[in-house]
Structure 1
C-alpha cells in the first residue's frame, strides 16, 4: 500500500516539474509562433450542415441538446492560437451536440480554421482531457466579422485550484486500479476515479443554459 508520505512527495515533485515547464513555455514566444496566415497547410475547413433529406431521417422524438452547432451559412475565419505549454485537442460541437476532433495543436503554435457563426468549439488537454480556456471562457462561439477579418482565438491553461491540481498529478502518477489502495479519504478516491470528461462538461453547460432560459422566461411573464 502506498504510504501518505510517498504520495505527498510524489505530488510535490510533479508539481515542481510542471511549474518549471510552464514558466519555460511562457517565455518561449517568438515571431515563429503562428502558422503563416497565407499557408495552406495551416488552413482547415468545416463540414457542411446536413442536407434536408438527412435532417428528415433523424428521429422526430429525438431531443437535441441546447449546446450544438446551428445550421448557418455565415462563414467565420478564425486563428486558433495555443498559448499554453500543453498539446491541445480541437473539438467542434456538431449538429447533434457531440464533440468531433479536428486534430491537435502543439504548444505555442496556431492553425487557421474556416468555420461558421453559431458553431461552438471547445479545447482539451490532449493527454489528460482537462478543459482549456478559450479567450478566458469554457467555449468559443465564432462571430461574423466584416471584410473577411480573421478572429484571434487564444487557448490558455485555466487556473486550477490546489485540490484539482493535486488530483491531476495523482492521476498521472498512480494507476487507476491503485486508487483504492491510497491512504486517503474515500471521497478523494472517488474524485480520482471521476476523470475529466467533455461529455460531462457539455451536459453541465446545457443545464446551465436551460436554467438561464427558464429564468428569462419567468422574468418576462412577471
Structure 2
C-alpha cells in the first residue's frame, strides 16, 4: 500500500506559470484593492465590475500552462497516494494531471449560483456574462470563495492532513487562515517539507525539512529526496 502524501499549495506555485495574486503588503491584486473585487459586499455594490475582474483573471488562467512544479507533484503519484490541497483558484493542478485536488477557495473555471453556492457549473470559454442565470433564476458568479465567506472544503482538507504519512507545503506564506492552520493537523512525527524562497519561523512544528527555493526547483529537490 502506498503512503499517503498530502501537498498544500499556494500562490508561489502558480506564480511560476505567470499568474499573479494579491500580496498582503499592499492589498492589491492586478491593481485592484481586493475589497473592491473579492468580497460579497463588492459583488452587491458593483457586480459588473467584479464579474469583469474575474473574467479577465479567468482568461489569464486559461492561457497559462502548468509548470515543472505541478508536473513534479503528478510524478509523485508513481510512488505515493497523493492528495493536493490548493489555496489557488486556477485549474493548473488538474491540467497537469493530478488525480486528487481539493480547492479550498473554489476554482475560477466554474460558475456558481448567486443564491446557492452548492450549484456550480462549468464555463464555456473565459466569460460569465451579466444576465446569465442559474437554474434558480439568479445571476451566475465566479465559483470563488471571497473574503468573509466560509471555506466549505476546510474540514475535508483537515482530515486529509491528519492522515498524512508525508506532508509538503509549496509556495505559501502560511499567512492566510483557515488554510494556514492545516499544518497543525499533520501528525507531529510526519516529515514536513516546506518549499518557499522565504520560509517563515516554524518553531512550533517538528520534523521540518526546509527547502528555500522556488516551487519548480524545490519540488524537483524534494522529489529526489523522497525517491532516494
Please give the range of the TM-score, normalised by the shorter of the 2 chains.
Answer: under 0.3
TM-score normalised by structure 2 residue count:
0.26
- The structure with the largest helix share of the pair is 1
